[in-house]
């Protein structure tokens, strides 16, 4: 019987400043309404299912504060305002914030919400919504405030009669309607943590933890640990070395978990799956029995131990589907199946729910068959984000999860387990002689260190940490405790995630300011003037609106998401992010993926509607090249058949779920190795509707001529 261990990781950044008690963004409350209770309820409703939920302590603190009304976020404060007496600044804030859900799944299905979305339109020349504010009447603002909170309601809330009645009503909401919805949601939030606690006590689920403020433990121990996976990386000088801080983050997480859930956690998902030998030692010292990371960390560990490097792109199943220990001691270590985990997180949202669940389980069965007689001692770890993905699924992922759980518990030869239950009934873990420090992202730490912006953040953190040491003994207990909390919060991974070129959102300035405010608050508490550098944004430059490809691609041009890997290495330019801390766009284009394959530029245009041909019948796609020569390619629906036509020689294209395009490089005056500049526009008639990127061009290298290999 092959065992499958699923871990859903619940995490949001710390939006509440420990010194001021103010929340900068509403995502903890909104994910509480939409995800955390529903995920537990779906697990409870599946007979025989065992699953793990990982709860970051700083998230649990925020949930409890929100539920008890100790924290009010900007969206809640705005929603409580009477729509008849909104100030101009409040109107602009509502128009900016209250469409922060993905258009395709949570705006388009509701006619009134969709109408308001298009009525708002895009930003004005000043970056605001002054023109849209003139079009909106008080009833529009009131309906928008209600619909935003209806959209962020999970399926459990939507089944409540009061919420169903509001959805049926659709528009013309009253202030009483709005107040009743907000009150109902506030009561709902109070049930989340007690519900999870009860399920864990019954043995149906396991709750694991993460270092308190979600820091990258290896970097706290020694920022030079980043050099193990990336020897040429530019890292801060002098280095940040505070292993005691790493220990404190783990110790306080264990203590807080015991306070909230009544038991000591047996397991810990280290933030971002980040491990090093120092981190494993610290986790072990706090009595944690198991931890986990990504299969890439196992591959690197086996290679530097002299027990790897001879396989292909993935660790052999008999090694990956096993528990390990570092030199036979400390916590058991599990390594997630990257392919299965990422299929759930990034791919299945575009599939039919039953087919996606069938595909997942068929892959599990192939693993079981490949393992043969050893399958009975094996485990397949599936570990991923437990909240953000569902916004991209219809019905918040409910039908997919129901189908997945039903198949996992009803298919002969496989069963589900928690990591602790697996350890209680399985052979002793195998032994690793060494671990190379790294995370689940590329098996390194370049997401959090190495870029000048990221390194600047580490420099400011190190200076603040040194200042705390100079003064801590002179402070009152209250000042010392709060200053320490500010420092620990500033050690979290989320701030460094947004610095640099890799990730970007419209809320970058908020994250930047929040990090610096934590450090300024710390200086205020210890009685020292904050360095002038903390008043200057770290993100002091224009940020690119796209991500570059990471390698060559060779997609099948069928207009479908044929295979998970065919666009995996592509670059991405998004009009909307659809979740969390980013804003949706205002046109029917969700994103453009792009990449190079020998002799070709490949493009994939994802419309917000699920039918790409309908999208193409309503408008044309134009690709404008500016490098190395000016060329224009126009693609439109054929008037003679059900396909697409291009007005440019050699261009191939197809549409079904998405639009896929292949442009021969020689047709645009380019060759392998050249730098290409282009933009993609969507026009309806003679009217421009959307352009990606919004400003400038996408600039990319058509390898070879880069570090890629074919």
Give, in order, the Cα–Cα distances in Å from 654 to each of 141, 217, 555, 646. Answer: 41, 46, 12, 10
Which tokens in the block code for residue 51?
A: 């699953």
pLDDT of residue 563: 66
Interval 487-505 mean pLDDT: 91
Q: Contact 529/572 with Cβ under 8 angstroms?
A: no
pLDDT of residue 640: 81
DSSP state of 346: I
Please, what is the Cα angle at 588 between 583 and 590, to 5 degrees?
Answer: 50
Q: Do 194-432 and 546-701 have matching folds?
A: no
Strand pairing category for 290-294 and 329-336: parallel
Residue 435: which H helix or E strand, with range? Answer: none
Whole-model pTM: value is 0.82
- State what percent of residues in the chain have pLDDT above 90: 75
pLDDT band at 662; cut points 50, 70, 90: very high
pLDDT of residue 543: 53
DSSP state of 129: -
Q: Contact 675/700 with Cβ under 8 angstroms?
A: yes
What's the CA gap between 405 and 45, in Å, rounded? 9
pLDDT band at 506; cut points 50, 70, 90: confident
Q: How many CB atoms lie within 10 A of CB 325?
A: 18
pLDDT of residue 517: 94
- Whether residue 323 is predicted with pLDDT greater than 80 in this model: the reply is yes
What's the CA gap between 313 and 152, in Å, rounded? 39
pLDDT digits (tens, 9 = 90+) for 450-473: 999 999 999 999 999 999 999 999
Q: Contact 636/645 with Cβ under 8 angstroms?
A: yes
- Whether residue 707 is predicted with pLDDT greater than 70 in this model: the reply is no
Where does 84-201 have alpha helices with state H? 88-97, 103-106, 111-120, 130-135, 138-151, 155-158, 161-169, 175-189, 192-201
- Whether residue 507 is predicted with pLDDT greater than 90 in this model: the reply is no
Q: Is 197 exposed, middle or buried (0-12, 13-18, 19+ CB in 10 A)?
A: middle
Give, in order, the Cα–Cα distances in Å from 100 to each of 80, 145, 404. Answer: 18, 12, 28
Q: Contact 416/312 with Cβ under 8 angstroms?
A: no
| CATH code of the domain occupying 194-432 | 3.20.110.20
pLDDT of residue 135: 93
Interval 252-279 mean pLDDT: 98
Q: How many CB atoms lie within 10 A of CB 695?
A: 8
- Whether residue 268 is predicted with pLDDT greater than 50 in this model: the reply is yes
pLDDT digits (tens, 9 = 90+) for 215-240: 999 999 999 999 999 999 999 999 99
Domain spans, the chain: 69-189, 194-432, 460-535, 546-701
pLDDT of residue 177: 98
DSSP state of 584: -
pLDDT digits (tens, 9 = 90+) for 347-368: 898 899 999 999 999 999 999 9
What is the secondary structure of 5-42 as a DSSP string? EEEEEE-----B-TTT--BS--HHHHHIIIIIHHHHHH
pLDDT of residue 583: 34
CATH classification (class only), 546-701: mainly beta
Indicate the range of 385-389, 431-435, 683-687 predicted with least confidence.
Answer: 683-687
Mean of pLDDT over the chain: 91
What's the CA gap between 636 and 134, in Å, rounded? 36
Question: Which of 515, 520, 512, 516 is CA-nearest to residue 543?
Answer: 512
What's the CA gap between 57 and 11, in Å, rounded? 9
What's the CA gap between 275 and 283, in Å, rounded? 10
- State what percent of residues in the chain have pLDDT above 70: 94
pLDDT of residue 45: 97
pLDDT band at 313; cut points 50, 70, 90: low
pLDDT digits (tens, 9 = 90+) for 609-633: 767 888 898 889 999 998 888 899 9
What's the CA gap between 144 and 493, in Å, rounded? 33
- Whether residue 276 is predicted with pLDDT greater than 80 in this model: the reply is yes
What's the CA gap between 205 and 203, in Å, rounded? 6
Q: Can you count the helices (H) and strands (E) in the chain?
A: 27, 22
Enumerate the β-bridge partners of residue 215: 492
pLDDT of residue 585: 36
pLDDT of residue 706: 47
- Whether residue 581 is predicted with pLDDT greater than 50 in this model: the reply is no
Cis peptide preceding 704, ω within 30 of 0: yes
pLDDT band at 121; cut points 50, 70, 90: confident
């Amino acid at each position: 019987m092959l065992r499958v261990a699923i871990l859903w990781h619940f995490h949001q950044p710390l939006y509440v400043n420990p010194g001021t008690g103010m929340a900068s963004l509403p995502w903890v409350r909104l994910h509480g309404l939409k995800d955390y209770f529903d995920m537990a309820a779906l697990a409870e409703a599946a007979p025989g299912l065992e699953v793990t939920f990982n709860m970051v302590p700083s998230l649990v603190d925020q949930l409890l504060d929100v539920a008890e009304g100790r924290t009010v976020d900007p969206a809640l404060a705005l929603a409580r305002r009477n729509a008849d007496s909104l100030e101009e600044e409040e109107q602009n804030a509502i128009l900016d914030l209250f469409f922060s859900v993905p258009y395709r799944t949570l705006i388009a299905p509701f006619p009134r919400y969709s109408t308001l979305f298009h009525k708002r339109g895009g930003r004005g020349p000043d970056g605001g919504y002054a023109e849209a504010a003139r079009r909106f009447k008080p009833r529009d603002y009131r309906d928008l405030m209600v619909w935003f909170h209806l959209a962020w309601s999970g399926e459990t809330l939507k089944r409540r009669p009061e919420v169903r009645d509001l959805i049926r009503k659709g528009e013309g909401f009253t202030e009483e309607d709005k107040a009743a919805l907000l009150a109902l949601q506030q009561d709902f939030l109070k049930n989340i943590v007690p519900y999870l606690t009860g399920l864990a006590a019954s043995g149906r689920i396991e709750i694991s933890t993460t270092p308190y403020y979600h820091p990258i433990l290896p970097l706290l121990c020694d920022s030079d640990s980043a050099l193990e996976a990336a020897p040429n990386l530019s890292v801060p000088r002098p280095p940040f070395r505070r292993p005691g801080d790493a220990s404190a983050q783990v110790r306080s997480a264990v203590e807080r978990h015991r306070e909230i859930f009544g038991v000591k956690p047996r397991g810990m998902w280290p933030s971002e799956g980040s491990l090093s030998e120092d981190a494993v030692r610290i986790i072990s010292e706090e009595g944690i029995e198991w931890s986990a990371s990504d299969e890439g960390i196992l591959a690197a560990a086996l290679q530097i131990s002299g027990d790897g490097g001879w396989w292909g792109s993935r660790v052999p199943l008999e090694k990956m589907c096993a528990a390990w220990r570092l030199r036979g001691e400390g916590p058991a270590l599990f390594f997630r199946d990257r392919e299965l985990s990422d299929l759930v997180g990034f791919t299945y949202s575009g599939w039919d729910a039953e087919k996606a669940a069938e595909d997942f389980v068929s892959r599990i069965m192939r693993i079981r068959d490949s393992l043969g007689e050893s399958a009975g001692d094996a485990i397949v770890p599936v570990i991923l984000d437990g909240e953000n993905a569902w916004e991209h699924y219809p019905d918040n992922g409910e039908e997919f999860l129901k189908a997945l759980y039903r198949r996992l518990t009803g298919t002969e030869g496989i069963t589900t387990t928690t990591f602790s239950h697996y350890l209680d009934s399985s052979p002793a873990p195998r032994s690793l002689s060494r671990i190379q420090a790294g995370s689940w992202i590329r098996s390194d730490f370049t997401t959090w260190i190495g870029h000048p912006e990221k390194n600047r953040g580490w420099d400011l953190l190190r200076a603040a940490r040194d200042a705390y040491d100079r003064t801590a003994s002179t402070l009152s207990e209250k000042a010392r405790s709060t200053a320490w909390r500010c420092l620990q919060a500033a050690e979290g991974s989320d701030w460094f995630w947004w610095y640099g070129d890799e990730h970007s959102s419209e809320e970058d300035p908020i994250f930047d300011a929040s990090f610096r405010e934590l450090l300024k608050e710390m200086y205020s508490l210890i009685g020292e003037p904050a360095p002038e550098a903390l008043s200057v944004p770290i993100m002091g430059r224009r940020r690119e609106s796209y991500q570059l490809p990471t390698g060559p691609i060779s997609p099948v041009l069928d207009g479908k998401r044929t295979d998970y890997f065919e666009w995996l290495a592509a670059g991405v330019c998004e009009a909307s992010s659809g979740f969390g801390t980013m804003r949706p766009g205002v046109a029917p284009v969700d994103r453009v993926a792009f990449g190079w394959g020998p002799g070709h530029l490949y493009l994939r245009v994802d419309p917000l509607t699920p039918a790409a041909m309908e999208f193409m019948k309503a408008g044309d796609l134009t690709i404008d090249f500016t490098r190395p020569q000016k060329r224009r390619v126009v693609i439109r629906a054929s008037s003679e058949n059900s396909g697409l036509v291009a007005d440019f020689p050699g261009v191939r294209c197809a549409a079904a779920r998405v639009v896929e395009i292949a442009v021969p490089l020689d047709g645009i005056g380019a060759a392998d190795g050249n730098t290409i500049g282009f933009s993609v526009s969507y026009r309806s008639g003679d009217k421009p509707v959307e352009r990606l990127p919004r400003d400038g061009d996408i600039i990319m290298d058509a390898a070879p001529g880069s570090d890629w290999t074919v």
